[in-house]
Homo-oligomer: A and B are copies of this chain.
Amino acid sequence: MTVTGIIAEFNPFHNGHKYLLDHAEGIKIVAMSGNFVQRGEPAIVDKWIRAQMALENGADLVVELPFFTAVQSADYFASGAVDVLSRLGIDSLTFGTEEVLDYQTIADVYSEKSEEMEAFVESLPSDLSYPQKTQKMWEKFAGVDFTGNTPNHILGLAYAKACAGKGITLNPIQRQGAGYHSLDKEVSFASATSLRLHKEDSDFVDKFMPNSKLFQTSPQVSWDNYFQLLVYQILTNPDLTSVFQVNEEIASRLKAAVREISSVEELVDKVATKRYTKARVRRILTYILVGAVDNSLPKSIHVLGFSQKGQFHLKSVKKSVDIVARIGRKPWDMLTQQADNVYQLGNPELCEQNFGRVPIRVK
Measured CB to CB, the residues of A under 8 A from B are 228-229, 231-233, 235-238, 242, 259, 290-291, 293, 338, 341-342, 345
A345–B342 Cα distance when bound, in Å, is 18
User: In the complex, which residue of chain B has the Cβ closest to the Cβ of A243?
Assistant: B238
Oligomer copy total: 2
| A149–chain B nearest beta-carbon distance, Å | 34
Do A341 and B229 touch across chains, with their CB atoms under 8 A apart? no
Do B235 and A342 touch across chains, with their CB atoms under 8 A apart? yes
Partner of A345 from B228, B293, B338, B345 at Cβ < 8 Å: B228
Question: Which residues in B have their C-beta under 8 angstroms from that of A236?
Answer: 233, 290-291, 338, 342
What 15 additional pairs, Cβ within 8 angstroms, besides A235-B338, A235-B341, A236-B290? A228-B228, A228-B229, A229-B229, A229-B232, A231-B345, A232-B233, A232-B342, A233-B236, A236-B291, A236-B338, A236-B342, A237-B291, A238-B242, A238-B293, A259-B341
Question: Which residues in B have their C-beta under 8 angstroms from that of A338?
Answer: 235-236
A-B contact pairs, 22 of them (CB 8 A): A228-B228, A228-B229, A228-B345, A229-B229, A229-B232, A231-B345, A232-B233, A232-B342, A232-B345, A233-B236, A235-B338, A235-B341, A235-B342, A235-B345, A236-B290, A236-B291, A236-B338, A236-B342, A238-B242, A238-B291, A238-B293, A259-B341
A237–B342 Cα distance when bound, in Å, is 12
| A223–chain B nearest beta-carbon distance, Å | 15
A118–B231 Cα distance when bound, in Å, is 44
A235–B335 Cα distance when bound, in Å, is 11
Question: Which residues in B have their C-beta under 8 angstroms from that of A291?
Answer: 236-238
Question: Which residues in B have their C-beta under 8 angstroms from that of A345?
Answer: 228, 231-232, 235
A233–B342 Cα distance when bound, in Å, is 10
